[in-house]
Amino acid sequence: MELYQLVAGHRQLTQHFNRNEYPAYYREYREKVASATEVTTDIPAAVNHLADGLARDWKNEKFWKRSSLRDGDRMLISTFLIPALLDLDDAKGHKTAEAVQNVMNERFSFPLQLGSYKDIMKGFEPKLFGISIVKPEPVSAEGKRFCTVCGKELPAEGKFCPHCGNKIAD
């Protein structure tokens, strides 16, 4: 299985991005990522094929813009693919995660940073009676926004923190 199929073939996973379901779906996905990276020999080619495929998929939809990417794909890459690659605990997994980050940042208009499974799970912690607490994101003097859960810088657009998955206040 190639990187593109790990995203395009698993888009439904974003429906399970919640405190109760995410851990089990993540573990299953991580096993698929481990198998795929074992047979991947040309990391740059695999990552470029991923970006080309996602751009092609988005272009086939009516809302295409050259520098855009589906929110679901962005979320899947941030919350499943990147953490699974980092979880491999080997140089190849980290190198692939960094290559995905670099190519996505170059080709699409969203900043993607490396976030681990542990970081994402921390995003599920602030709860009050089982309901997520969404606070306004702090804004720095330079106008940058930061996530209230993980503290990392937020992109200008998007509904979820690309690092931990926290819902961004409108």
55-102 per-position pLDDT tens digit: 777 766 654 454 456 677 888 888 999 999 999 878 888 999 999 888
31: containing domain: 3-114
Residue type, 27: R
Domain contains 43: yes
Task: Name residue 112's amino acid.
Answer: L
The verdict on residue 44 lying in a domain is yes
Please check the confidence at residue 152 and state whether its pLDDT lies above 50.
yes
pLDDT at 3 over 80: yes
Is the residue at 161 inside a domain? no
Number of domains composing the chain: 1
Centroid of chain to Cα 6: 12
Q: Which residue has the higher pLDDT, 161 or 31?
A: 31
Please tell me the pTM assigned to this model.
Answer: 0.68
100, part of any domain: yes
pLDDT at residue 67, as a whole number: 47
Q: Burial letters for 48-71: b for 16+ Cβ neighbours within 10 Å, e otherwise?
A: bebbebbbebbeeeeeeeeebbbe
DSSP 8-state secondary structure symbol assigned to residue 128: E
